[in-house]
């Protein structure tokens, strides 16, 4: 089993390394600094789990409204054959991803109520074609 992790934040990676070491798992996970929009799948199939920003401060909403469609495009183009899980406390933002969630699991991130959205990344389109008259 290969496990890869990435984050754009050096501070987040430092915290992840500390947590992995505390759990005795530092040799089982490969971490690197990377933007989720720029990475490619390291294998033909797998699972990607992300906790992207969901914005608390005013002004972030516009940035996120631009980010989420890009995330959906990146997952669709670079992670075909994978399952993607996205954790979000803002129930509106995952709709911007423009992918159909196959599952929505309620859970908490600390005290914050969230949903874990599952997306099956398939080749082509999942939209059903209308029968021609």
**Same domain? 18 vs 54:** no
Nearest by Cα to 52 from 42, 65, 43, 41: 65
For residue 11, tell me if it sits in a domain.
yes
**Same domain? 51 vs 103:** yes
For residue 7, tell me if it sits in a domain.
yes
**Same domain? 25 vs 84:** no
CA distance 99 to 109: 23
User: What is the CATH number for 50?
Assistant: 3.40.50.150
Number of structural domains, the chain?
A: 2
3-state secondary structure of 50: strand
For residue 55, tell me if it sits in a domain.
yes
- Check whether 40 has a pLDDT greater than 60: yes
CA distance 35 to 101: 23
- Check whether 58 has a pLDDT greater than 80: no
**Same domain? 95 vs 63:** yes
How does pLDDT run across 70-116, given as a tens digit for each residue?
999 999 999 999 999 999 988 887 789 999 999 999 999 899 999 99
**Same domain? 29 vs 48:** no
CA distance 19 to 32: 15
CA distance 16 to 107: 21
- Check whether 34 has a pLDDT greater than 90: yes
For residue 128, tell me if it sits in a domain.
no
**Same domain? 1 vs 60:** no
**Same domain? 109 vs 92:** yes
**Same domain? 9 vs 51:** no
Residue 45's domain comprises 41-120
For residue 132, tell me if it sits in a domain.
no
CA angle 39–25–114, rounded 5-degree value = 60
């Amino acid at each position: 089993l290969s496990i890869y992790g990435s984050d754009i934040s050096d501070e987040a990676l430092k915290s992840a390394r500390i947590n992995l070491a505390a759990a005795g798992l530092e040799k089982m996970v490969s971490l690197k600094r990377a933007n989720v929009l720029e990475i490619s799948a390291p294998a033909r199939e797998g699972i990607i789990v992300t906790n992207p920003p969901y914005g608390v401060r005013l002004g972030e909403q516009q940035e996120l409204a631009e980010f989420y469609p890009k995330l959906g495009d990146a997952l669709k183009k670079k992670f075909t054959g994978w399952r993607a899980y996205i954790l979000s406390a803002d129930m509106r933002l995952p709709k911007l991803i423009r992918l159909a969630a196959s599952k929505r699991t309620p859970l908490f991130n600390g005290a914050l109520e969230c949903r874990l959205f599952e997306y099956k990344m398939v080749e082509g389109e999942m939209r059903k074609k209308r029968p021609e008259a």
